[in-house]
């Protein structure tokens, strides 16, 4: 399955233009890739800040199938919206969020709950 992943507030804490701190995404993203799912980074970052996000994935040894687009969608659409069967984004309705003012003033994705949801949905 192709899975579209946001970056700030989703994979790391909000700290744009810097890369935020770890929030527990790495083991879950690695499990997805190990189970043959393809990750597509889809973020508001561009230029150097997008490169920083891509480097985060490389540093954590999490391969990306696409960056800002699904590499196969040009075969059937010219839409700039990245296509995937699932989207994990802190701004998506239903994505489990954590609020902890001691860590960050803005809510961020709760990866323990995402992991539970993915297991229930038989992603791995």
pLDDT at residue 59 in the model:
98
Q: Outline where DSSP puts E strands in 1-124.
A: 2-5, 38-41, 66-67, 86-88, 97-100, 104-109
- Specify whether the CB–CB gap between 84 and 64 falls below 8 A: no
pLDDT at residue 84 in the model:
96
pLDDT at residue 47 in the model:
97
pTM: 0.95
Tell me the C-alpha to C-alpha distance, in Å, between residue 53 and each of 22, 94, 111. Answer: 12, 24, 18
pLDDT at residue 117 in the model:
98
Going by pLDDT thresholds of 50, 70 and 90, the confidence category of residue 72 is very high
Please compute the mean of the pLDDT values over residues 47-54 and round it to a whole number.
Answer: 98
How is domain 2-120 classified at the architecture level of CATH?
3-Layer(aba) Sandwich (3.40)
């Amino acid at each position: 399955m192709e899975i579209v992943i946001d970056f700030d507030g989703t994979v790391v804490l909000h700290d744009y233009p810097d890369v935020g701190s770890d929030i527990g995404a790495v083991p879950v993203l690695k499990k997805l890739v190990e189970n043959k799912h393809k990750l597509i980074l889809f973020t508001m970052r561009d230029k150097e800040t997008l490169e920083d996000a891509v480097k985060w994935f490389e540093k954590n040894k999490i391969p990306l199938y696409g960056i800002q687009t699904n590499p196969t969608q040009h075969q059937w659409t010219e839409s700039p919206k990245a296509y995937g069967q699932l989207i994990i984004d802190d701004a998506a309705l239903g994505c489990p969020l954590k609020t902890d003012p001691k860590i960050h003033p803005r809510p961020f994705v709760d990866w323990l709950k995402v992991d539970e949801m993915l297991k229930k949905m038989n992603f791995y």
